[in-house]
Each structure stands twice: as structure tokens, then as C-alpha cells.
Amino acid sequence: MRFETTEGAGASRRPFALPALASGDDAESPVHVAGKRGCGRLDGPSDDELVAAVASGDEAACRELMDRHLPRVTALARRILGNRADAEDVAQEVFLRVWTHAERWEPGRAQFGTWLHRVAANLCLDRLRKNRGGTEDIDAIPEPASEEPGPDRQLEQNELAARVEAALQALPERQRTAIVLSHYQGLTNIEAAEILEITVEAVESLLSRARRQLRSSLATEKGDLLRSRKVSA
């Protein structure tokens, strides 16, 4: 049995003060995080071993899991929700569930990181539903340059980032989640399908529709931006 994703048994475990969220969690790109997805690290215990330690009340093990996974969980939530404060709340909730439900984890049923993504994505979608009452290619977004750009280049990068973020937030919830998992988190379609609990074909369909809408939105935004620059010139 995997962790439950709803409140229930285990809630009586003694409280655990989660460490403060680290800043700069959104800076990681798929290129930089591609090697972080396994069950553990070469220089320490596996995630499964740490979860077993958490089940026995080991707070240091829980903090180690947070050190490994908190930045990516927070980045995922911020991309889906478009709000850092809400993203931090979701990340805190995810790791509170790790602390309270660790004894329910069964190694080998899934990768721990995949489960974390699933819980975070579901919590984000739940929040969006409650709050409701959702020619540049997303795959061609440039990575940050290795050297500090000049003022003009920085302004262009900031404008591009703002337009991409606005277009991303305008996507329907499921399409946005699929794009975040695939592009920003660097997960495979198989992993995204497991997290979203849909077929790989359904993930591919979500990604196709999302990218088509992003291209259209960004092309329109680019045209408006160029026209405004000509008027002000």
C-alpha cells in the first residue's frame, strides 16, 4: 500500500516542525534536474530507507527527504498555481503527509519522487477547483545564460518570462499540469501519466493541446509587444 493522499490514520503522530522553505526553488531547469529522479543518491541512503526511518520517528530522515525533494515539489506547485505562497502551503502539506503516513509506504510499488509529484499535483488541482468557485514554442524557451546579461538583454528575458508565465497560467488546469510535469520538472510522459493517473496517450493529448495554445498565445503577445515598441519609438 502506498501513502494515502487524504487525511486519515497517522494524523495522531507527534507534531514535526518542518524546516523553512529554501529560496530560489524555481531556478532549476529540466537540464539541471534530470539526474535527480531516482529512489536515492549514490552518497547516502535511498529514499525508501529514509522513509522507513521516518516511520520510526526519525526527524533527521524527514529533513533529508525534504533536502532532496522540497525544491522540486515547491517549483511544481508554483508553476501550477501561479502563486508562491500557495505553492509553499502545498509543499508543506505534502511533507506533513510524508511524516504522518510514512509507515504506509511499501518500497517497490513506485518511486518516492513520483508519489510526491502526484500528491503535490492533486493538492494543486484541488486548490484550483476550490478557488474557481483554468510564434514561440514552449520547448524553445532559452535556459539562463552562464554570464550576467546586459540591461537590454535582461529586460527582454524578463518580458519573455512574464509572457510565458501568463500564457502558462491561462491554460486549462490539466493541460498546465501536464506541461509543468513534462517541461519544467523534466519527467517522462510515462511518469506524468502515473502522476496524473491517466494513460500515456492522454498525457500526449494534453501536451499537444497545451503547446498549441501556448504557441498561439505567445505569438499574439509577441505581435502586440512589437507593435507597442514601434509606437513608442
Task: Look at residue 44 in the predicted model and tell me its pLDDT.
Answer: 80
Domain of 42, in residue numbers: 22-133
- Classify residue 173: in a domain, yes or no: yes
Q: How many domains does the chain have?
A: 2
> Within this chain, do residues 98 and 156 fall inside the same structural domain, yes or no?
no
> Within this chain, do residues 189 and 129 fall inside the same structural domain, yes or no?
no
pLDDT, one tens digit per residue, over 72-85 is 999 999 999 998 99
Reference 43, options 25, 68, 18, 24; nearest CA is 68
> Within this chain, do residues 95 and 128 fall inside the same structural domain, yes or no?
yes
- Quick one: CA torsion of 134, 136, 142, 147, rounded to 10 degrees? -120
133, 162, 188: which is the final residue of a domain?
133
- Classify residue 192: in a domain, yes or no: yes
Task: Look at residue 159 in the predicted model and tell me its pLDDT.
Answer: 75
Task: Look at residue 134 in the predicted model and tell me its pLDDT.
Answer: 43
Helices 200-232 and 189-196: crossing angle in degrees, nearest 10, is 100
Task: Look at residue 109 in the predicted model and tell me its pLDDT.
Answer: 81
* Parts of the chain with a pLDDT under 50: 1-12, 22-40, 134-147, 229-233
70, 104, 133: which is the final residue of a domain?
133
109, 133, 157: which is the final residue of a domain?
133
Task: Look at residue 218 in the predicted model and tell me its pLDDT.
Answer: 84
CATH of the domain at 220: 1.10.10.10
